[in-house]
Structures are given as C-alpha cells and as structure tokens.
Amino acid sequence: MPFDRLWRNARIATMAERQPGLGVIEQGALASRGGRIIYVGPEADLPVGPIAKETIDCEGRWITPGLVDCHTHLVYGGNRAKEFELRLAGASYEEIARAGGGILSTVAATRAASLETLVASALPRLDHLLAEGVTTVEIKSGYGLDLNTEAQMLRAARRLGEIRDVSVATTFLGAHALPAEAAGDKDTYIARLCDEVLPAIAAEGLADAVDAFCEGIAFSLQQTARVFETARKLGLPVKLHADQLSNLGGAALAARFGALSADHLEYTDETGAAAMAKAGTVAVLLPGAFYFIRETQKPPVELFRKAGTKIALATDCNPGSSPLTSLLLTMNMGATLFRLTVEECLAGVTREAARALGKLDEIGTLEVGKSCDLAIWDIETPAELVYRIGFNPLHTRIRRGL
Ligand code: DI6
Ligand code: FE
C-alpha cells in the first residue's frame, strides 16, 4: 500500500503560496505516510484500486492545515478576573496595582505555583485551542522573571506538548516586566538576564526562541537589543512585542535583528513596516489584546499590504490583556476590527503563523513532504470559519497523520 491513510471526497484549502487564493482543490484527496503528506490533489488523479491501509470519506467537508497559534502566554498562575471587575468599576491602573493586580500579581501567583499546578491550569486553555483544530502552539515564559520560575514555566510548556497531541514551540520572555526585587533598575535586571538567566535557559534547551517587551512600561530599544545580541550568540531566533502602546521603533529593531516576527504593532509606522518586509519579519497581529484593552489605534494593515509584510494572527492568550483561547474568534476579530480579508485571516493562522515560528518547511500548508496536520471542518465555505462568532465547526483534528 503506498498510503497509510487517505482522505477522499474533500474540499481542500492547501494555503500553499504557489497556488492562488486559498489553494482550493474541489473533489480533492489527501494522503499520508509515516505522518507526512505524500499526496494532495484531485481525487480523479489517484490510481485506481486499493491504495491505502485506511480510507476516510470526508463527505464533502473542507480540509485546511491544522491551525497554528504563534503567540500565547498559555502558562501562568492564577487569573485576573478580580482586576477585570475592578476595571469595570472604574479603577485606574495604579489602583489595580496597589490592590495587588496587574502583571506582577501574575508573577507572584506563577512563582507560588508548582510545575504540576502550572500544567494543570494551562491544560483547559490548551484543550480549548485544540478543540478548534490547533496542532501547533507557541508558549512564552515571562511571568517568572527569575531563573527558576522562568525555567519552570518553559518546562511546563514542554510538558504540555508531551501530555497532549500538539507541537509546542517555547519562547523565553524574561524581558517581559521588571520584578519588584529589581527595585526599578532595568539595566541591572537586563544585564543579569543576559549574563546568567538566558544562557542557563539555553543550556537546558528550554527555549526555541527569545522574545522581549519593548515599551515605555517595559524595556527600551537598547535593553531589547542587548537581549537580542545575547540570543544571537546563543544561536536562538528572536521575536518582539513591539509598538503595542507607543511607537518606540520596535518593529524596525526587530527587523534589524532578522526577527522571526514582531507582534502587536498598533503604533508601527511606514519605516517599520517596510523594514519588516525587507527582513522577512512577520507581522503578528493580536486583535484579542486590542479588543480587551479597548485600544483604538489599529495596526497599519494597509502599510503592511503595500510593503508586502506577511501578516499572521494569534490569540496572545494571557491573563492581563487577552484572556482568549479561540483562534476562530481571533480570525473574526482580525476581520471585523482590522478589516483583514478571509484569505488573510486563514493564512494568518496557518501559513503565516508557521512562518512566524520559523516552521514553514514543516507545517502551515498542505503540501507534499510536510507534516500531515489537518483540520477537517463541517462548513460549506471557508469564509464561515471567519464569519461566525462563538461557533466551532471542527469535525476532526489530525496531527502527524493520526
Ligand atoms: N503585552 C501585553 O499586552 C501583555 N504582555 C505584553 O507584553 C500584558 C501581560 C499581562 O498583563 O499579564
Ligand atoms: Fe503577548
């Protein structure tokens, strides 16, 4: 038998770049062997006779690549529902911080949690993503802000990838916020992070990439550059939370370091967009955070289109600014809030999200040789995946052919 499994009678959106639009194949078939795609194309072009150990009749359903959530903070302790209530009652950021809220409250809860607790509390969030067809998820650290807890968060992320059928890409985000014990001294914190923390994380193989939060309330361009130089020495790719609340020039800095992605980007300008396009740095847009913090400045989608910057979409799942565990809703928000097209939204959670993780050779489109990661949907048109709100039409999720 040439094929292990054969999905037939399907409509397929390959999302392959060399095909126009969504790369639609009507009357399509897709076959796997050893967990890889070895055929995708018209069913009529298949040889006749028994060709697969198992054949699945898709009854006209749509097949897309398994979804990729390329920016999450899925692992953390506690939650911030109380802070949300206080904000609704009119509390200011300072009042919330004084009442024990804000990002440092998540740091305290994360430091207090065991590895088992971190894994157990992240699991339902992960399961929600998987139930909507996610087959690859990126997970950041950044709520430990000391070596032990940052390492613990990344171990929890790796563990999630062992106990669930999903690929996990880990990212070290030690430069997310300044912990209280640093007493306001950001330079000394970054120096320690670069001299001790990141090298130890890298030595344990815990991080696949390095991220930072470049913002007035977080770290400067110079401090970010220092983290990136350390990552470069350690052979780790970089990405950046850039231009979320103001334009510090984070997108351009990310491009200068050949970053995989720059994320958020509400305040990015034309220079930043062009630099990203030139460097191949993907723009990861996070409409959940835009929505939840009631931001009004939209990321410059038209500038990205003009420059040819690739656009991805992700949940940014985190307790403070985006308690969101739905890539389907993220696509709807990308369309309604940022005016992305259906094609841009679908590419944003498949091909471009894979590119943002540096994994486009392996996942993100349905092409021969790639991992057979599929989402099979009970829909009539792909636009339904973007159009509906709070509805999950997933029929089957396949990872590595199974
Ligand atoms: N940008 C954000 O919006 C979040 N982190 C970041 O870098 C906020 C994280 C939090 O409030 O817990
Ligand atoms: Fe984030």
* Model pLDDT for residues 170-185, shown as the tens digit of each residue: 999 999 999 999 999 9
pLDDT score at 95:
85
pLDDT > 90: what percent of the chain?
Answer: 96
The whole-number average pLDDT for the span 14-26 is 97
DSSP letter, residue 22: T
Determine the residue of 214, 315, 318, 322 to mutate for testing ligand 1's pocket, defined as the one with the most ligand atoms within 8 A of the Cβ atom. 318
End-to-end CA, the chain: 17
Confidence band of 98 (pLDDT split at 50, 70, 90): confident
Confidence band of 137 (pLDDT split at 50, 70, 90): very high
Looking from the CA of residue 143, the nearest atom of ligand 1 is 12
Task: Characterise 392 by phi-psi region: left (phi > 0), alpha (psi -120 to 50), beta (else).
Answer: beta
Which residue's CA is the closest to the ligand 1 atom numbered 3?
A: 321
pLDDT score at 30:
98
Confidence band of 169 (pLDDT split at 50, 70, 90): very high
- The closest ligand to the CA of 262 turns out to be 2
Residue 251 has pLDDT above 80, yes or no: yes
CA atoms within 13 A on the CB side of 23: 22
**Least confident interval from 97-101, 210-214, 246-250:** 97-101
276-294 confidence digits (pLDDT tens)? 999 999 999 999 999 999 9
- Tell me which long-range contacts 23-27 makes (C-beta under 8 A, separation of at least 24): 23/365, 23/366, 24/382
DSSP letter, residue 271: H
Confidence band of 357 (pLDDT split at 50, 70, 90): very high
Dist CA 223 CA 28 (whole Å): 51
Spacing of C-alpha 74 from chain mean position: 10
Asked if residues 227 and 214 have their Cβ atoms less than 8 Å apart, the reply is no
Residue 222, SS3 per DSSP: helix
pLDDT score at 323:
98
pLDDT score at 138:
99
In degrees, to the nearest 5, what angle opens at C-alpha 158 toward C-alphas 154 and 159?
Answer: 115
3-state secondary structure 96-139: HHHCCCCHHHHHHHHHHCCHHHHHHHHHHHHHHHHCCCEEEEEE
pLDDT > 70: what percent of the chain?
Answer: 100
Answer whether 289 contacts ligand 1 (Cβ < 6 A). yes
Dist CA 193 CA 151 (whole Å): 12
- pTM beyond 0.85: the answer is yes
pLDDT score at 97:
77
The whole-number average pLDDT for the span 43-50 is 92
The whole-number average pLDDT for the span 153-175 is 98
Dist CA 289 CA 264 (whole Å): 8
The whole-number average pLDDT for the span 394-398 is 98
The whole-number average pLDDT for the span 241-270 is 97
Answer whether 244 contacts ligand 1 (Cβ < 6 A). yes
DSSP letter, residue 322: B
Determine the residue of 213, 245, 284 to mutate for testing ligand 1's pocket, defined as the one with the most ligand atoms within 8 A of the Cβ atom. 213
The whole-number average pLDDT for the span 122-134 is 98
Q: Using the structure block, give the residue that is written with the tokens 């054949």.
A: 55
